[in-house]
Amino acid sequence: MGYLLDTNVLIDYVAERYTQPQLRQLDAIVDTAFNISVISKIETLGHNGDPAEMVKMLAFVQVANILTLSDDVVLQTIDLRKALRIKTPDAIIAASALVHGLTLITHDDGFNKVPGLVVVDPHSL
C-alpha cells in the first residue's frame, strides 16, 4: 500500500509536531512509500516557516516521489471540481491519490467527502 502525504502533514512532520508514536508511524510511511503531489511541493516550499525548518523541508521534498499533473490526474481533478466544488489544490491532491491508488495522509477532514478516497488522519496513528 502506498501513501500520499498532504501539505499540512509535511509541514507538521518536518517541524516534529507529532507525538513520538505518531512520528514512528510516519517515519515508517516515509521510509517505504513517500509520495507527495506537485501541489504539496509548491505549498510547502512556498510556506513562510522557520528558516531552519525550511532548510529541512527542502531536503525532505528533494527525496520525495513527486506526483506530477498527468492527463489522468488533470481529468480526475476536473471531475472532482465539478462534482464536489472543492478548491483546485485539494482536488489535485485528491485526484493524485485516486489515480495512483494511494491512501491520503492529512489533517483536513474535507477530503472525507471525496468518493473512493481513503483518508487517514495522522493524529489517529
Using one digit for the tens of pLDDT, what is the confidence trace for 4-54? Answer: 999 999 999 998 999 999 999 999 998 887 899 999 999 999 988 889 989
CATH of the domain at 15: 3.40.50.1010
To 5 degrees, how large is the angle CA 103–CA 106–CA 112? 75
pLDDT score recorded for residue 39: 97
Q: Judge whether 26 and 13 are in contact, CB under 8 Å.
A: yes
Domain count, the chain: 1
**Region 94-112: what's the mean pLDDT?**
97
For 48-84, what is each residue's pLDDT tens digit?
A: 888 998 999 999 899 999 999 999 999 999 999 999 9
- The pLDDT, as a whole number, for residue 49 is 80
Residue 74 lies in domain: 2-124
Q: Within 10 Å of residue 64's Cβ, how many Cβ atoms?
A: 17
